[in-house]
Chain A
Amino acid sequence: GNSVTQMEGPVTLSEEAFLTINCTYTATGYPSLFWYVQYPGEGLQLLLKATKADDKGSNKGFEATYRKETTSFHLEKGSVQVSDSAVYFCALFYSSASKIIFGSGTRLSIRP
């Protein structure tokens, strides 16, 4: 079936460190891929997305590239800030069921 596996947290980094949160997926066909972010006390927000192989989604300094050959969509940021502290969810959308499947989330904490 369709599923998303992402790196377990929590991840704790110092400000200005490089961030990678790994995400791999299993899916039939060619799903669209997303990263959502959930800041403390707020609802999930779409951070970035990619709809086909080799697409790169980017927003707020975050990037992720849709890698069909490795079925991955790793989230990266070159220099994190304290305000990036949140829970990050990798997700896929598969058209046949018109449904989003979310990973279990990775909590990120950034130290000043």
Chain B
Amino acid sequence: EAGVVQSPRYKIIEKKQPVAFWCNPISGHNTLYWYLQNLGQGPELLIRYENEEAVDDSQLPKDRFSAERLKGVDSTLKIQPAELGDSAVYLCASSLEDGPSDEQFFGPGTRLTVL
């Protein structure tokens, strides 16, 4: 069974440029998460989807970040414009449902460097 797929794995851009990350969750997983992981820190939730609905986007900086999950499958996270402080690893995860017994499966992440 394929795991969570993310692309690109690495991205280097200049500040003020836009950037987008793509995630394909495990087939059949209804819940999809985007996390931000700063160097030396644990992941922090940005947004959580139940199917195509964003049910928790309280930590998403909406002035520059946006996300979508069309048809409740793949998801895209966008930053426009990027700032130096956005350099981090962006992780996507998915689970069958959302609860303590539902294991979240993580992708390898996209490492973003903003110059």
Contacts and interface: CB of A to CB of B under 8 A. Distances in A.
A31 B100 CA distance: 8
A81 B3 CA distance: 26
Contacts of A31: 100
B40 A105 contact: yes
A60 interface: no
Interface stretch (A14-22, A36-44, A63-71, A72-80): A36-44
Chain A, interface residues (CB within 8 Å), range: 20 to 34
Contacts of B56: 97-99
Contacts, number: 51
A93 B100 contact: yes
B98 interface: yes
B contacts with A: majority SS: loop
B91 A103 contact: no
Contacts of B107: 43
Interface string B69-98: 000000000000000000000010100001
Contacts of B40: 104-105
A32 B103 CA distance: 12
Contacts of B14: none
A25 interface: no
Given A42-B108, A46-B104, A102-B44, 15 more contacts: A4-B42, A43-B106, A43-B109, A44-B106, A46-B103, A51-B101, A89-B42, A93-B100, A98-B56, A99-B45, A99-B48, A100-B45, A102-B42, A102-B43, A105-B41
Interface pairs A-B: 7 shortest CB-CB: A102-B42, A32-B100, A43-B106, A44-B106, A93-B100, A43-B108, A46-B103
Interface of B: 3-4, 40-45, 48, 56, 91, 93, 98-101, 103-109
